[in-house]
Structure 1
Amino acid sequence: MAEAPKIELFVKASVDAEGVGNCPFCQRIFMIIWLKGVNFQITTVDMIRDPPTLKALAPGSQPPFLRYNDEVITDTNKIEEFLEKTLAPPQCPKLCCRYKESNGAGEDIFRTFSAYIKNPSPELNDIREKKFLTTLVKLNHYLETPLPHELDQNPNATVSSRLYLDSESFTLADCNLLPKLNIVKVVCKHYRDFDIPAQLKGLTRYLENAYKEDQFRYTCPPESEIIVAYQSVAVYLNQQKGQSNRRH
């Protein structure tokens, strides 16, 4: 029997350097390795102190990076490709999507979210919010539309009942999108008092299902980490609220 590989994932450390910090790319890889069902070690990297480990293993790189036995990989997409190719069936599950459309679902949300949350002008808020909402509606439509395998099982289905983007289980697409959606949810609530509309039933169901899964719930950074990470870019439209929050 082949010896199990030594796998170490380096992720961004929290502000206090004690836990996992806010980084959707780190969480993406964390989820993938967990879903592969292999033993691995997590090491947090304090970017402020620039530890010797970072200089020696991945000079000039930002987490995440992966050490697989003696090989070090520093690019997020390359790490994903390496894990999918190396940790493959029959020992490990395949995580790629059945449908290529699932990979692109929700891909424009983070861009419109960033424009919405960074906007300092109350008069532009409605425009930015509508553009952001449009991308949420688009994702919701994909989640509510039955995929071909669902229609094979029930040709009369008009609304999808699948749990996740591509199927009943997490895929690489979910590992990419869900960490970003978690950030969107936390930041919009804190800085805009904006909740994802309950009318978007497909998206609401998707998130509810995801938060039940250990591989997502336990890889999410604390909400306080996300809020602190966005302090320098998110803008309170109500300046008094911002001042009140800063005093606390």
Structure 2
Amino acid sequence: MDGKMAEAPKIELFVKASLDAEGVGNCPFCQRIFMILWLKGITFKITTVDMIRDPPTLKALAPGSQPPFLCYNEEVKTDTNKIEEFLEKTLAPPQYPKLCCRYKESDGAGEDIFRTFSAYIKNPTPELNDMREKKLLATLLKLNNYLKTPLPYELDQNPSAHESSRLFLDGDSLTLADCNLLPKLNIVKVVCKEYRDLDIPAELKHLRRYLDNAKKQDEFNFTCPPDSEIIDAYQLVAVYLNPQKGKSYKKH
């Protein structure tokens, strides 16, 4: 253990600060890297970045960059995808766990959800609400069906299996795909409930189970911003619809 600690690199992750600058803010990309580092089981430092004040030291460290960015043994990396690739390559077995998916389909599962969610939640026109809601629900159903379908390794274990019993996208362990998707799904869940009174339908039981399983994992649960932070972050783009009056309005 002592040898491993002595060999461990010096890592500092910079993430978006909350609106009060006291905690972690709403940023699915920041949470994605936060989760990856936690899952790798390595010691690292978290520094929150106040996007309003933007300290001069951070301007000098990563000029023009938006969190997350990573300082790895004094080397600064600022692109989320490249940070992920670097960590997976550098923090590799046997010392650190491999987090990539076994099945390429798991990497793309749910990739269209955030796009349809954004169109839905930013829509100010009540007449378009049902159509955009259906599009969002269709993408959620597609993900639910992927989570429902047994993966090849499950069929190898039980050829007659009709439904998957796995915990996450690619199996019973969190992967890079989960680190990418879960922070976005959490935003969808919180914001849709607040601004549209829309819950993830009960019939999407595999999707709901997936989120419940994630909440039981410290790597996800303790890297999530508070729901109130997510709601506040969407206040400028999301609208409350009032179909009875045929108009939209923002809550203040």
TM range (shorter): over 0.9
1:59 to 59, 63, 76: 63
In the TM superposition, what is the alpha-carbon distance from 1:242 to its structure 2 partner?
5.2
Among residues 125, 141, 144, which one is paired with 1:140 in the alignment? 144
Cα distance in 1 between the residues matched to 2:49 and 2:113: 28
Do structure 1's residue 228 and structure 2's residue 232 form an aligned pair?
A: yes
Q: What corresponds to 1:38 in structure 2?
A: 42
User: SS at 2:12's partner residue?
Assistant: strand
Q: Deviations over 1:87-137 (max 9, x none)?
A: 111111000000000000000000000111011111111100000100000
**Cα offset, 1:53, TM superposition:** 2.5
Q: Which residue of 1 aligns with 2:91?
A: 87
TM-score by length of 1: 0.96
SS in 1 for 2:105: helix
Q: Work out whether residues 126 and 248 of structure 2, in 8 Å CA contact, stay in contact via their aligned partners in 1.
A: no
Which residue identity lines up with residue 48 of structure 1 in the other structure? I
1:234 alignment partner AA: A
Equivalences for 1:70-81 in 2 at 5 Å? 70-81=74-85
What TM-score comes out, normalization by structure 2 length? Answer: 0.95
- State the Cα distance separating 1:12 from its structure 2 match: 0.2
Aligned twin of 2:9: 5
Which consecutive unaligned segments of at least 5 residues does structure 2 have?
none
Give the Å deviation of 1:4: 1.7
Alignment partner, residue 181 of structure 1: 185
Contiguous gaps of at least 5 residues in structure 1: none
Q: d(CA) in 2 for partners of 1:241 and 1:138?
A: 30
* Matched residue type, 1:178: L
**Is 1:199 matched with 2:212?**
no
CA distance in 2, matches of 1:137, 1:47: 36
Aligned pair count reads: 245
Instruction: Report the Cα distance in structure 1 between the residues aligned to 2:249 and 2:163, rounded to whole angstroms.
Output: 42
Runs of 4+ in 1 over 3 A off after TM superposition: 239-243
Give the % identical residues: 81
User: Which residue of 1 is the match for residue 130 of structure 2?
Assistant: 126
Amino acid corresponding to residue 232 of structure 1 in structure 2: L
Q: 2:155 aligns with which of 151, 155, 166?
A: 151
